[in-house]
Structure 1
Amino acid sequence: MLKQALARIAHPVEQAFDRVFLRSTPDEVVIDPYLGYATPEHILLRGRVLTHLRRTNPAPEANWWVNLRQMAGLFLTREVAGKTVCWGEVTAQTDEEGYFTLHVPRGEAAPGWFSAEVAIDGGEGATLEALVPPADAPFGVISDIDDTVLETGAYSLLRNLWTSLTGNAMTRHVYEDAVTLMHGFVRLGAPVYFVSSSPWNLHHFLRRIFERHDLPKGPMFLRDLGISRTQFISGTHGDHKGAAIDSLLAANPDLPFVLVGDTGQHDPQVYLAAAERHPGRIVRVILREPGKGADRRDLARIEAMEERGIVVEHGTDYTAIIPELP
């Protein structure tokens, strides 16, 4: 109720601010490309139309103030609504926050990364990519990002904000055991997807970190921090992660899934709820225990998942799990 009330107040304020200071319908616009994914019928190409792209210039020696200014700049986007994006005869319109999804018929698309040159009216085109899983994939993997593969201190709000806002793509720490674990899944033929409560503004930033540390390339499901008439920000962390899991299980109806996360942001609760919504689809859960580790509520939810026949592995790192993978 509180968030709905805040939304009713904040939405017209945001619209007025955008009309005066940010949003416009410029002659030239660009696409911020996001990695997409496939369903049995379609390949979903995703992106966002902006007036221009904002990128950081990371340097290992940059001080916290330089990093903070560059990170803040990523959020000062000028989104463009009502633009048409097309690939051949397939079109999509951008919404009020500039987002779009093209539903391209999957047809006989080969497994791997599907690539398409898309066009936009009154602006530059872009190359969009989407992951098409192999027909013989043994399972799918949905992995959290914060404190699962990327150290953020998300279990502590202040630590998370400081780490996220004052670091850059050259200084952020990725867990080496997570890199090894994800590559093990890829060698088994499993498609890997990533979920985070980070906003879509950080998609390119996160991709640079992943590339620098040789993490497997995978579609990301990030969070819309925009304000609508009915929602102040885009739900809770759990709502967002649960919705992403639901979408990916629906997109891969024949695959069982492995969920990878941590105990710092209620992943046991989210993963148990997902297992209850999708009986038999979640076969394994792997959890890192950052900070103080699993509390009694986490342990109770882990036990509840095990009672459903799910293999749950948890500890301070993934080293005990990695030897099982090729």
Structure 2
Amino acid sequence: MKLWLARIGVWIERQLGRGRAVRQAGAIVPYIGYATPEHLVVRGRVLAKLRDKPAYGGRNRWCNVRQTLRLFLTAEVGDVTVSAGDVTAQTDEEGYFTLLLPRDDQEGWREITVHVGEISVACPVMVARTDAHFAVVSDIDDTMMHTGAYALTRNLWNSLTGNAATRVVFPDAVALMAKLSEDGRNPVHYVSSSPWNFHGMLTDVFDRNALPRGPMFLRDYGISETQFITGTHGDHKGASIDVLMSALPELPFVLIGDTGQHDAGIYLSAAHRHPGRVQQVILRATADGVDAADQADIDAIRALGIPVDVGPDYSAALSRDAARRSE
């Protein structure tokens, strides 16, 4: 039944996508990039037009619902050439692109100008500093801000009816990330099962609430012929951690998540795949608390010698040594 429904979904998507080849590029949506030992990884998406509107707190819920739905009515432009200097790439059928530029000796934030025909945009890239003590990977939903991601109906309601001005960021999450970041010394990254369509909104939320800026690893909600949404939350988060550990081979990692979507199990698997690379795990316990499966995973992480702070807030993590250096 699921396979049959998925194939119907593919047919509908293809019908709605007819005429995509004749669309003209009208905008480049920049995503925050990162660096590997060899490359600057520049990311973004090419669309025929933008559908974002400024967010403000007084907008009613119906306006927010309409604006959120507009984010998914993307007129993506596939198979067009994107360039930055002498480096080029083609957008895929959903308009996404990745440019791999040679890395130089500079560090910190870089702005790479990307072109599609006469259109250009600056794509930010974060290059880890040589004095970084560790890297941070954090979940977003119910870790940095309240969404109710562990409850489908609650998460859907919050996603549809809110905007960047109304999203609730946990104050102690802001304090924790500021402490871990050490004023930009330690690179911060965010991983979420939210769609790439939310990248601009999430960036706005983080800026409004003074969360440290960093690359986001979101999900493509495209439909394949075998499933509605490719991969699972755990697959996506685990793969993103693998990418980042490969990109920053000299750094240990602090992993932050919550108990609502069993992040402890995901981080335990990452610790097994990358022995010695996970320095600490921090988990916010959701309203449902820590169940038996989570507790077993937490105990297993601690058995590896990795400290785990878990609770309804980040007070335990905030009370730890601020530096967390690997000497």
Which TM class, normalised by the smaller chain length? over 0.9
Cα distance in 2 for residues equivalent to 1:212 and 1:57:
13
Select the residue among 151, 164, 167 that pairs with 1:172.
167
Q: What's 2:12 paired with?
A: 13
Select the residue among 165, 183, 187 that pairs with 1:191.
187
Q: What's 2:115 paired with?
A: 119
The aligned runs of 1:146-295 (5 Å cut-off) are 146-187=141-182, 189-295=185-291
**Contact in 2 for aligned 1:142/1:259 (Cα 8 Å):** yes
**Contact in 2 for aligned 1:234/1:240 (Cα 8 Å):** no
SS in 2 for 1:320: helix
Cα distance in 1 for residues equivalent to 2:300 and 2:134:
22
What TM-score results when the alignment is normalised by the length of structure 2? 0.94
**Contact in 2 for aligned 1:155/1:291 (Cα 8 Å):** no
Cα distance in 1 for residues equivalent to 2:289 and 2:88:
47
Cα distance in 2 for residues equivalent to 1:6 and 1:138:
48
- Percent identity among equivalent residues? 54
Letter in 2 for 1:293: G
Task: For residues 231-273 of structure 1, give each alpha carbon's deviation from its aligned partner in whole angstroms, at most 9, with x where no partner exists.
Answer: 5312111111111111111111111111000001110111111
The Cα shift of 1:17 comes to: 1.9
Task: For residues 65-123 of structure 1, give each alpha carbon's deviation from its aligned partner in whole angstroms, at most 9, with x where no partner exists.
Answer: 11111111111001111011111111111001110000000022x221111111113x5
CA RMSD of aligned residues (A): 1.6
Task: For residues 125-169 of structure 1, give each alpha carbon's deviation from its aligned partner in whole angstroms, at most 9, with x where no partner exists.
Answer: 110011000122111100000000111011211111111110111
**Contact in 2 for aligned 1:37/1:132 (Cα 8 Å):** yes
Cα distance in 2 for residues equivalent to 1:80 and 1:229:
21
SS in 2 for 1:147: coil
Task: For residues 255-292 of structure 1, give each alpha carbon's deviation from its aligned partner in whole angstroms, at most 9, with x where no partner exists.
Answer: 11110000011101111111111111112100000112
Cα distance in 1 for residues equivalent to 2:62 and 2:21:
30
**Contact in 2 for aligned 1:56/1:71 (Cα 8 Å):** no
Letter in 1 for 2:14: Q
Letter in 2 for 1:195: V
Distance 1:191 1:3, change over 3 A: farther
Cα distance in 1 for residues equivalent to 2:3 and 2:102:
37
Consecutive unaligned residues of structure 2, counting only runs of 5 or more, are none
The Cα shift of 1:26 comes to: 2.8
Letter in 1 for 2:46: V
Q: What's 1:42 paired with?
A: 39
**Contact in 1 for aligned 2:24/2:77 (Cα 8 Å):** no
Cα distance in 2 for residues equivalent to 1:234 and 1:80:
21
Distance 1:39 1:4, change over 3 A: farther
Letter in 1 for 2:255: L
Q: What's 2:134 paired with?
A: 139
Residue correspondences, number? 321
The Cα shift of 1:320 comes to: 2.4
Greater Cα shift, 6-15 or 145-154: 6-15
Cα distance in 2 for residues equivalent to 1:310 and 1:6:
43
Cα distance in 2 for residues equivalent to 1:251 and 1:288:
27
**Contact in 1 for aligned 2:40/2:101 (Cα 8 Å):** yes
Q: What's 1:56 paired with?
A: 53
The Cα shift of 1:309 comes to: 1.1
The Cα shift of 1:3 comes to: 5.9
The Cα shift of 1:8 comes to: 4.0
Consecutive unaligned residues of structure 1, counting only runs of 5 or more, are none
Cα distance in 2 for residues equivalent to 1:248 and 1:107:
19
Letter in 1 for 2:243: S
